[in-house]
Amino acid sequence: MEETRKFARLLIILLLLFFLLHRFYNLGFKELQMWDESLYGVRAKAIYYFNEWIDQTNYAVGGLYSSAHPPLFIWLTTILYKIFGISEFTTRFFSALFGSLIVLLTYLMARKFFDHQSSFLTIPFIGSIYLVNFYSRQAQLDIPYIFFITLSLYFYLEFLNGKKFHLYLSSFALGLALMTKIIVGFFVPITLAFFLFTMYLTGRVKFKEACLQLITLTSIGLLIALPWHVYMLTAHGEDFINTFFKFHIIERLTEGVEENIPELGYFYILNQLIVQFPPSILVFIDLIKNVKHLKKIDSQKILIHSWFWSEFFIISLSKTKIPNYVLPLFVPAVIISANYIKEVIDKKEGIFPLSLLLISLVWSSSQELRNAVKEVLKLNADLNSLIITALFALSMP
């Protein structure tokens, strides 16, 4: 038994090291992308050459278009520039670092708060998702803000387990998320509002206590992020409001910007989720199973589902949709699906969910199948598309 434990620990360490090395290996492999990577690299250079630590608008590509995003990632990159010089590697370093920490934190979260054995699965699950790997090697804001959101909810789980001070640590991590990318850090209070409302309905928390937690966490997070935002508002006035709120938030949610309105509409995020991570189909099955026994479900599982579903609905309803919008869903999806697989194995049942998982894997692996189904749904299918779609439909349980 002891030898088995030692082997398991060694395997976990080797997996973590593998995904760590994967993110850093040949990180400076090619020039920065001409758009998003370059936007943030230019801002870091503005600080490096001109000491514009607070506001890089005068040097930023598109002015406020790129400088309206909070500067935490830019600050970290600049510090690295000053120590090691400007290069593709130093520009991408913190994305790779936070991408590695997401793998570690996902494993620790699953191991400590859910199932010790199933936590092993989270490492290859989160580590092998193409989009997570890709953006972990890009000098963009997505992976850093997802790390801080994950860290905030990790600390909140500690708080739920009796460590009261960790509510403040959760709030601090929220503040860092808000200082990394426009408004996306609010996924944390939205998740907790969803969670606390469910807990209130099931009689596990008083309304006053729920409000106090939410107000405390959100207030501290805002206090951390507010000084920079107030400075930018003072410096740029209505232009900052229009760029920050109107363009980056309202128009992205309600109109769709830069022609990023996919044909799949509301189903785009669902499709991306399954294509990128086929076991995510188990999240939907787990929800159906748990809703029937909501009052008996562990609060930690309710939190992880609140995390997934609150973000899923918001992102799906947004008019603007691009592949990286699905990134925030992967951590909770990985934890839920790993835990569900362990439950199925333990109970030695679950032909239906495993059949759906197999179909999900087929869907993920075949672009031809996805194109055929899309043509059928558009009523524009040829005979080949009809045959492929019919065979796929017949294979479903």
Residue 24 in tokens:
């850093």
Cα–Cα dist 348/152, whole Å: 35
Please answer whether residues 47 and 104 qualify as being in contact, where contact means their C-beta atoms are separated by less than 8 angstroms. no
Q: What does the pLDDT read at residue 373?
A: 73
Rounded CA-CA distance 289/347 in Å is: 14
pLDDT of residue 351: 74
Angle at which helices 351-365 and 330-347 cross, to 10°: 140
pLDDT on residue 381: 67
Ordered by start, the domain boundaries in the chain are 2-365
Token pair listed for 262: 């996919």
Round to whole Å and give the CA distance between 315 and 318: 5
Tell me how far apart the alpha carbons of residues 55 and 231 are, in angstroms, rounded to a whole number.
9
Position 378 scores a pLDDT of 67
Give CA–CA dist 245/87, Å, rounded: 33
Contact 369, 388 (CB under 8 A): yes
With vertex at residue 219, the alpha carbon angle to CA 201 and CA 325, rounded to the nearest 5 degrees, is 75
Which two three-digit tokens encode residue 236?
């740029």
User: Which residues 6+ apart lie within 8 Å of 98 measured at CB?
Assistant: 136, 143, 144, 146, 147
A 10 A CB-CB count for 148 gives: 24
pLDDT mean values, one per 10 residues, the chain (397 residues): 72 88 88 84 96 96 93 97 96 97 95 85 94 95 97 97 95 98 94 96 94 97 97 96 88 74 81 93 91 85 96 91 92 95 77 80 80 71 70 65
